[in-house]
A = this chain, B = another copy of it.
């Protein structure tokens, strides 16, 4: 499979150079550490996130007023190093502390945790919110929440970014962040695995006629394959699984993120969105916020994910609607 790249070793730095050129009027770029950062703001906690590359526009596409302060990029599907993350903390902390937003993959959590420990010994105040929105269920009787961090992370950026802009302290952001992630669940379905332009780490294959429910964003396996029939079929499966997690009641309020996993045409994302909307209305749920697009991709995987956030706090819908200049929100 062809990929529009040059040297394989340089895909991340080439990409970041291209992105930075587009946004140089408002962002800074530390090329040595693959760090993209907003102009620092005093009296505001800095929000840092990052992870492996190959999930674009996550994470640098959300570095903006009202979302992330700083992103730090690792190699393809590989977390950034402790040194990179430590540097991001050092350059982002203006004295009000730093919140790390980390997707729940073992290697990501390990790198961010080590960097946090070193930063704390250097006098930085650092807290971590771990996003574990992915719910991959084996069957109805044995729930097995795999708890990976996937597309719902974008809602965490937006909400905590709004709280931070409104002056929330580091302690408050940590508490609110944990509160949000408890109400945030995502489930995805693949129509094809990703084909990376470097050694492919996909752990699954899929027949031309099949879909795979519950896949992760780095090629992790899902919980069930079945023949593909329709958009509605996928929406029914994802809504039913999410229903079994939330045990929702009519009248409950949700925010909804439909996320293309990479190569899914926007037309198909909106067709699926229409099915999700109809099914949620049949359930009697209120959808106060609805967003569609390719936000957290798995490189060029064909597929889609559905993230729901139960809006148990009145502020959350407003905070999701607040303006931001993030190019990919």
Residues of A in contact with B (beta carbons under 8 Å apart): 1-6, 11, 14-19, 21-22, 53-54, 56-57, 61, 191-192, 197, 208-209, 211, 228, 230-232, 234, 262-275, 277, 287, 290-294, 297, 299-300, 302, 304, 327
Residues in B neighbouring A22, C-beta threshold 8 A: 270, 273, 290-292
Closest to A17 in B: B274
Q: In the complex, what distance in Å separates the CA atom of A91 from the CA atom of B201? A: 53
Main secondary structure of the interface of A (DSSP, over half): mixed
Q: In the complex, what distance in Å separates the CA atom of A3 from the CA atom of B197? A: 24
- Known contacts A265-B300, A299-B265; is-contact A273 B21 (Cβ 8 Å): yes
Do the beta carbons of B209 and A274 come within 8 Å of each other? Answer: no
Within the complex, which residue of B16, B263, B272 is in contact with A263, where a contact is CB–CB below 8 Å?
B263
User: Of A21, A297, A300, which is in contact with the most chain B CB atoms at under 10 Å from its CB?
Assistant: A21
Given contacts A14-B270, A22-B273, 4 further A-B contacts (CB under 8 A): A5-B230, A11-B271, A56-B265, A61-B266
- Known contacts A277-B21, A290-B21; is-contact A267 B11 (Cβ 8 Å): yes
Do the beta carbons of B299 and A4 come within 8 Å of each other? Answer: no
Do the beta carbons of A2 and B208 come within 8 Å of each other? Answer: yes
Do the beta carbons of B267 and A2 come within 8 Å of each other? Answer: no
Residues in B neighbouring A271, C-beta threshold 8 A: 4-6, 11, 14-15, 18
Closest to A274 in B: B18
29 A-B contacts (beta carbon < 8 Å): A1-B208, A3-B265, A4-B191, A4-B231, A4-B269, A5-B230, A5-B271, A6-B231, A14-B231, A14-B275, A15-B271, A17-B277, A18-B270, A18-B272, A19-B273, A19-B292, A21-B274, A21-B290, A22-B273, A22-B290, A22-B291, A54-B267, A56-B270, A263-B300, A263-B302, A265-B299, A266-B294, A266-B297, A267-B299
Q: In the complex, what distance in Å separates the CA atom of A262 from the CA atom of B18? A: 19
User: Of A228, A266, A273, A299, which is in contact with the most chain B CB atoms at under 10 Å from its CB?
Assistant: A266
Residues in B neighbouring A262, C-beta threshold 8 A: 263, 265
